[in-house]
Amino acid sequence: MSRKIPFIGRLRRKITIQQITETRDAYGEPIKTWTTLLNTRAAIEPLMGREFWESQQHNAEKNVRFRIRHSKTAETITPKMRISWDSRTFDIQSVVNVYERNREIILMAVEYV
């Protein structure tokens, strides 16, 4: 008989949500850098991989679902941000507040290999 693991029990991985910020150098030119918005724990669920040819170059991508706890900071996550986990980087594709209950947020993300 299998036992369903509670949502909180699945949040084993430490991830960092990053956002792009723009500063100016001494000459007034914009410099874009990634800064940390949120460090949190997540459940990570690989979904599928895909290989494709683009401009005669072989590429691969992996789609992954990240589940995190809801928080005021997590409400500000957008698809313009990225996830850093275990020296890997994932571009956020969508952000879903599950059932609009403010308990769990699902981040659908893609890693380009």
Beta partners for residue 36, in sequence order: 18
Res 10 pLDDT > 90: no
Asked if 16 and 84 count as a contact pair (C-beta separation under 8 A), the reply is yes
SS3 call for 112 = strand
- State the CATH class of domain 7-112: mainly beta
Sketch the domain layout of the chain as residue ranges.
7-112
pTM of the model as a whole: 0.81
Give CA–CA dist 81/36, Å, rounded.
10
Answer yes or no: is pLDDT of 112 > 90: no
The first and second tokens of residue 110, run together, are 């893609």
CA torsion sign for 103, 71, 20, 22 is positive
pLDDT in tens, 84-106: 999 999 999 999 999 999 999 99
Q: What is the pLDDT of residues 28-82, one digit of tens each?
A: 999 999 999 999 999 999 886 555 455 555 567 888 999 999 999 999 999 999 9
